[in-house]
Amino acid sequence: KFSDPEDRLSGSDWEEDEDDVEAALKKEVGQIRASTKQNLRRFQSVESGANNVVFIRTQGIEPENLVHHILKDMHTTKKKKTRVILRMLPISGTCKAFMEDMKKYTETFFEPWFKAPNKGTFQIVYKARNNSHMSREEVIKELAGIVGSLNPENKVDLSNPQYTVVVEIIKTVCCLSVVRDYVLFRKYNLQEVVKSSKEDAQQNPSSLTEKQNSEIIKPETEEEEKSSKEVKEENK
């Protein structure tokens, strides 16, 4: 929850003449309507609490569908439509960034994608900002266990999963989403998704074919690789 300075009613607005009650009521109603209209905007910026991170609250819009549509359009047209935005991630749910809160919340949050009869292959990506008390390995292990408990047929796939569980920790808030085509859309990177296969191959030389290169995400560190293997083994 937050409020902008213009949302607040100043003390002077309430200091009306006692004999002019009708005018005071009209002004109060006008202030309330203006405040309500402001809070119901389709897109509203919210202070994220982290440098270089902009959080946009939406009204009446499913963020995962909106962001997927944007990435799909950029991937198809190869038209660069932004110079300053690196990644765009939808956030479908939030909870406190403590393990017990996250476990309790995700047991319900994951149901639309992973609870039987629904099933799919998945991977979990994790990033923390301004937070040092969470353990990346513990979070991935616990959340992967919850996905497996919802349906044993859910399997880890680090090469080309159907779903990617995005976990973004910002201070004491855990932001969650389950996205599609995370590999195809280059980790939802708006700068990379518009590159042609030829450009990508020139900037990232590899013995892999272009098709393989577009389908595989390598662990960023040895620690991540080790953690990914542990999760995969536990879900076999």
Q: What is the pLDDT of residue 49?
A: 85
Rounded to two decimals, the pTM is 0.68
* Other CB atoms within 10 Å distance of the CB of residue 73: 12
Using the Cα atoms of residue 26, residue 31, residue 35 and residue 37 in order, give the sign of their dihedral.
Answer: positive
- Give the N- to C-terminal CA distance of the chain in Å, as an integer: 41
Cα(133)–Cα(143) distance, rounded to whole angstroms? 17
pLDDT at 233: 53
For 194, the token pair is 């518009």
**pLDDT the model gives residue 211:** 40
pLDDT of residue 217: 37
**Alpha carbon distance 75, 200 (integer Å):** 13
- Give residue 152's pLDDT: 96
How much is the pLDDT for 216?
A: 35
Query: Partners of 97 in the beta sheet?
Result: none
Amino acid at 232: K
Rg (CA), the chain: 23
CA separation for the pair 189, 186 (Å, rounded):
6
Question: What domains can be seen in the chain, in order of their start residue?
Answer: 44-195 (3.30.2300.10)
CA dihedral (177, 183, 186, 189) in degrees, to 10, reads 0
Per-residue pLDDT of the chain (236 residues; tens, 9 = 90+): 444 555 555 555 545 455 577 777 777 777 777 666 655 788 988 888 888 999 999 888 899 999 999 999 999 999 998 989 999 999 999 999 999 999 999 999 999 999 999 999 999 999 999 998 999 999 999 999 999 999 999 999 999 999 999 999 999 999 999 999 999 999 999 999 999 766 655 555 443 333 433 333 344 445 555 555 555 555 55
Nearest alpha carbon to residue 169 among 190, 193, 143, 146: 143
pLDDT of residue 60: 87
User: For position 4, what pLDDT does the model report?
Assistant: 52
